[in-house]
């Protein structure tokens, strides 16, 4: 697909997984603290605006043949997700009764992991496996990646629905 050696993928993956979420959380924390934290009414609007940029970063990933563009988009996608996640979690927990916040946080983390991290490799594998041994293998690999990055659209639509409500 991108004609990248396994070693390069390993290094990119390692650097991305260490740097993008870490820097995203730090930068997001600083940004939202300067706004007054997650209790500020503008915080959710900023989460929606910044989170919508994930769509811009996700869109070229399945179609790109340029490895550095793909690398940059994946890094930025993870950065933006980490940038807004703590604030969105704070907003969510702030909407729950104080006596139930610990349980709400645990359930939110469980759902985040069950609906986010856990199914991603299985979904990718199920879609990409349809092309194994065919001339369309690259098409199915790109389609699998498209399915994964399309969650940015689903999440943005969910945030818009919450903002409207």
Residues 26-63: pLDDT tens digits?
A: 999 999 999 999 888 899 999 999 999 999 999 998 88
* pTM of the predicted model as reported, rounded to 2 decimal places: 0.84
From first CA to last CA, the distance across the chain in angstroms is 42
Confidence at residue 110, expressed as pLDDT on a 0 to 100 scale: 92
Q: Which two tokens stand for residue 86?
A: 């703590």
Task: List all residues 6 or more positions away from 77 whose beta carbon is below 8 Å from its beta carbon.
Answer: 54, 57, 58, 61, 149, 152
Considering only the C-alpha atoms of the chain, give the largest distance between any 2 of them, rounded to a whole number of Å: 57
Confidence at residue 1, expressed as pLDDT on a 0 to 100 scale: 57
Confidence at residue 155, expressed as pLDDT on a 0 to 100 scale: 84
CB 68 within 8 A of CB 60: no
Q: Which residue has the tokens 């927990």?
A: 93
Average pLDDT (67-73) is 91
Q: pLDDT tens, 99-155?
A: 999 999 999 889 888 987 788 889 889 998 988 888 888 888 889 988 988 888 888
Of 38, 148, 142, 50, nearest to 93 (Cα)?
A: 38
CB atoms within 10 A of CB 108: 15
- Statement: residue 158 has pLDDT above 90: no
Average pLDDT (83-109) is 91
The CA-based angle 31-155-129, given to 5 degrees, is 125
How does residue 9 score in pLDDT terms, banded at 50, 70 and 90?
confident
Confidence at residue 39, expressed as pLDDT on a 0 to 100 scale: 86
77 compared with 133, residue with greater pLDDT: 77
CA distances from 139 to 14, 116, 136, 143 (A): 26, 24, 5, 6
Q: Which two tokens stand for residue 87?
A: 């604030």
């Amino acid at each position: 697909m991108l004609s990248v050696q396994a070693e390069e993928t390993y290094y990119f993956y390692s650097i991305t997984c260490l740097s993008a979420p870490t820097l995203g959380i730090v930068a997001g924390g600083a940004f939202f603290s300067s706004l007054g934290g997650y209790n500020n009414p503008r915080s959710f609007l900023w989460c929606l605006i910044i989170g919508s940029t994930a769509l811009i970063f996700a869109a070229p990933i399945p179609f790109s043949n340029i490895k550095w563009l793909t690398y940059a988009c994946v890094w930025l996608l993870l950065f933006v997700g980490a940038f807004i996640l703590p604030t969105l979690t704070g907003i969510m927990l702030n909407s729950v009764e104080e006596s139930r916040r610990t349980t709400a946080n645990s359930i939110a983390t469980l759902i985040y992991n069950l609906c986010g991290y856990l199914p991603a490799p299985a979904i990718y594998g199920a879609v990409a496996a349809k092309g194994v041994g065919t001339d369309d293998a690259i098409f199915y690999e790109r389609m699998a990646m498209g399915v994964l990055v399309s969650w940015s659209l689903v999440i943005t639509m969910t945030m818009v629905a919450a903002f409207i409500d």
